[in-house]
């Protein structure tokens, strides 16, 4: 599983998103490669489908799924809304749901080595 954390320099929230992501990967014992991608311009935001900082992509799909493509690529901050609360990073629960959902879509055995790619 390939995971990208996209952010802009000076983002106050990407470190928390990265910590939550690493915690979920460790708790679920998942094989995953994390790549940090610094987005420096609006052109890069469009090219990377960066919907604000931080953006997490799992196998090149936004954490919030295909519906996130309705968002505009932007070099600003991103807000995640969960259970009526807004924050600048995704919770471990949101990350876990996205990772587990993606791994089970592609493989019947999400903890098996075949899902590592």
pLDDT tens per residue across all 117 residues of the chain: 899 999 999 999 999 999 999 999 999 999 999 999 999 999 999 899 899 999 999 999 999 876 665 567 778 899 998 888 999 999 999 999 999 876 544 443 344 343 443
Phi-psi region of 29 (alpha: psi -120 to 50; beta: other; left: phi over 0): left
Q: What is the CATH number of domain 2-116?
A: 3.40.30
Q: Determine the pLDDT at residue 70.
A: 57
Q: Are 6 and 55 in contact (CB under 8 A)?
A: yes
Q: What is the pLDDT of residue 53?
A: 95
Give how far Cα 40 sits from Cα of 28, 69, 73, 80, 89, Å: 32, 20, 12, 21, 19
* Residue closest to 33 by CA, chosen among 22, 23, 44, 45: 22
Domain regions of the chain by residue span: 2-116
Q: Give the distance between the most distant pair of CA atoms in the chain.
A: 40
């Amino acid at each position: 599983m390939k995971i990208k954390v996209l952010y802009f320099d000076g983002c106050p929230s990407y470190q928390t998103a990265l910590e939550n992501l690493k915690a979920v990967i460790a708790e679920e014992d998942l094989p995953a490669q994390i790549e940090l991608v610094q987005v420096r311009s609006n052109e890069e935001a469009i090219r990377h489908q960066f919907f604000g900082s931080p953006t997490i992509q799992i196998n090149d799909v936004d954490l919030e799924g295909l519906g996130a493509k309705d968002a505009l690529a932007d070099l600003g901050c991103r807000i995640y809304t969960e259970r009526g609360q807004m924050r600048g990073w995704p919770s471990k629960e949101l990350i876990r749901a996205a990772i587990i959902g993606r791994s089970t879509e592609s493989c019947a055995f999400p903890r098996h080595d075949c899902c590592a790619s």
